[in-house]
Amino acid sequence: MDQSSPDYVATSRRKDKARRKRPGAGLAGLIWPQRSLITNREVAGPGALEPELWAKLQFLSDPLCARCGSPFEIAVDEAQECGACLAHPPVYDRARAALVYGDVSRDLVLGLKYQGRRDGLSVLGGWMASAGRDLLSDADLIVPVPLHYFRLVRRGFNQSAWLAAALSRSSGVKLSVDALKRVKATPIQGGLSADGRRRNVQGAFKVRRSRERLVKDQKILLVDDVLTTGATAEACTRALRRAGAACVDVVTLARVAGPRAAPI
């Protein structure tokens, strides 16, 4: 069954099982050479971006807030949380992202989100798997942030589900693309304040009744493209916890730099 189907639940595999190289992959690379995920120009070698664009990517690595994953400017203890998380702990357990949301990473996200660039999913998913390796090792089930039905029909795909499927394929962790349902057709979050984003997604998600047993008592890894204020991640986490999830971690392709905005 197509992994973009709303009824798809991937079967789990052994996480340490070696992945075999697909026959003909080298020949396919000659017939359809790798193209830049931003400019669409042919890229020499295995890279997904031109060297000058690659150099502008800001990958996130330690030291990070142990809770929300925001970067620290100085070395800290690995269990250290940022001030925002200490003052107002997020609903989710942990969050990690591969990249700082900037000029180049924004173009990657927009290409995936609005142009449907699936050709880079293995690369982007690999970056996310590296950033969230500890979260993946603990996860029982991967769940993407869903789109409302009307938006899904208009766009034709859910980019978060694509990223979630890439993580599932590389890690062997079970995937359910439809465990969460968006029950409110909320306006786009862009341009809203942190408090406005929280109000916008309040009560917007719930776990499908047919997936409640799948979610109950499980450690969930929630997947999205970008973490901004955390409002969407927290709204999804509340829905998953109401359904009995034991833990909810979050991994995204990119995140807005700086401390998490505290509730107003």
Confidence (pTM):
0.84
The amino acid at residue 222 is: L
User: What tokens does 35 get?
Assistant: 């193209």
Plot region of 129 (φ>0 → left; ψ -120 to 50 → alpha; else → beta): alpha
Domain range annotation of the chain: 93-255
Per-residue pLDDT, 21: 43
Would you place residue 68 in the very low, low, confident or very high pLDDT band (cuts 50, 70, 90)?
very high
214-240 per-position pLDDT tens digit: 999 999 999 999 999 999 999 999 999
CATH fold of 93-255, please?
Answer: Rossmann fold (3.40.50)
Q: Report yes or no: 242 and 207 within 8 Å, Cβ to Cβ.
A: yes
Question: What pLDDT is attached to residue 19?
Answer: 43
